[in-house]
């Protein structure tokens, strides 16, 4: 029973990470013309780690976490803060649309790891 739960959790994590990476991939392709899905998946993973390390701070944690998440995007993709913020916003919208389709059509109930609030 425990192995099944671990495998299920691992599969859910991988799927959510791939969805988060897909959202960042779509966004980076549109905003800065970078076409590398693997790079986007790593960015989603690093962004999620950065979010987890900062979001717990009382009162201002989510604001700091959002800035740090955008900073990870800025570090990983060309352009400045504005382009990084646009990549983040477009990735967030993309993740919502991907999850809307995946969860309503296929009934998966998955999330997007690496995209805050989705």
pLDDT tens, the chain, 118 aa long: 577 788 888 988 999 999 999 999 999 999 999 999 999 999 999 999 999 999 999 999 999 999 999 999 999 999 999 999 999 999 999 999 999 998 898 887 888 989 998 8
Nearest CA to 96 out of 82, 106, 83, 110 is that of: 110
Domain count for the chain: 1
Asked whether residue 69 is domain-assigned, the answer is: yes
What is the spatial distance between Cα 32 and Cα 101, in angstroms, rounded to a whole number?
Answer: 25
Contact (Cβ atoms closer than 8 angstroms) between residue 94 and residue 19: no
Who's near 23: CB < 8 A, 6+ residues apart?
Answer: 44, 91, 92, 94, 95, 98, 112, 115, 118
Asked whether residue 7 is domain-assigned, the answer is: yes
Asked whether residue 32 is domain-assigned, the answer is: yes
Asked whether residue 118 is domain-assigned, the answer is: no
Contact (Cβ atoms closer than 8 angstroms) between residue 115 and residue 95: yes
Asked whether residue 84 is domain-assigned, the answer is: yes
Find the domain containing 36 and state its range.
2-105
């Amino acid at each position: 029973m425990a192995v099944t739960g671990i495998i299920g959790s691992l599969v859910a994590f991988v799927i959510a990470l791939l969805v988060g990476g897909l959202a960042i991939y779509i966004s980076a392709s549109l905003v800065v013309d970078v076409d590398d899905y693997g790079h986007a998946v790593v960015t989603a993973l690093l962004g999620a780690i950065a979010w987890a390390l900062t979001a717990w701070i009382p009162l201002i944690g989510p604001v700091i976490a959002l800035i740090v998440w955008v900073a990870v995007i800025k570090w990983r993709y060309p352009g400045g803060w504005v382009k990084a913020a646009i990549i983040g916003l477009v990735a967030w919208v993309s993740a919502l649309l991907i999850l809307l389709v995946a969860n309503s059509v296929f009934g998966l109930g998955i999330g997007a790891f690496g995209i805050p609030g989705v």
